[in-house]
Amino acid sequence: MRMPYTRIAYVLAFLAVAGYALVTLRGPRGIAALIDKQHQIQQLERQNQLLHQEIERRREKISRLIDNPTEQELEIRERLKLVQPKDKVYIIGQPDQKAPGK
């Protein structure tokens, strides 16, 4: 007589655990959140890889500038828009038209 009650108790306990697991996995912190976190991780890993490539590219540029004074001069002239007295500068395009008296 005791056997059916224990079997029913085990089945009810199993159903309660299964129900709790189902509710937990479908909730806001369940499988959907896990998938979202995995997508975020993948996106951040891609972004991290791009940043590492950018860092490596800049390191190479710095080492080239350190080793090559000609390249240093070209970089300085380009950034600061400097010219030497012997250089000829050509301005291409339309000059700004200003009305007289303004």
Residue 57 lies in a domain: yes
Question: Is 75 within a domain?
Answer: yes
pLDDT at 45: 98
For residues 102 and 96, the answer to whether their CB atoms sit within 8 Å is no
Which two structure tokens, joined as six digits, stand for 4? 């059916």
pLDDT band of residue 32 (cuts 50, 70, 90) is confident
**Residue 16, domain member (yes or no):** no
Residue 22 lies in a domain: no
- Number of domains forming the structure of the chain: 1
Q: Answer whether residue 5 is part of any domain.
A: no
Q: How confident is the model at residue 101 (pLDDT cuts 50, 70, 90)?
A: low
How far apart CA 35 and CA 8 sit, in angstroms, is: 36
Q: Is 9 part of a structural domain of the chain?
A: no
Domain assignment present for residue 95? The answer is no
* Residue range of the domain that includes 64: 29-82
Higher pLDDT among residues 59 and 17, named by residue: 59
Asked if 14 contacts 7 with a C-beta cutoff of 8 angstroms, the reply is no
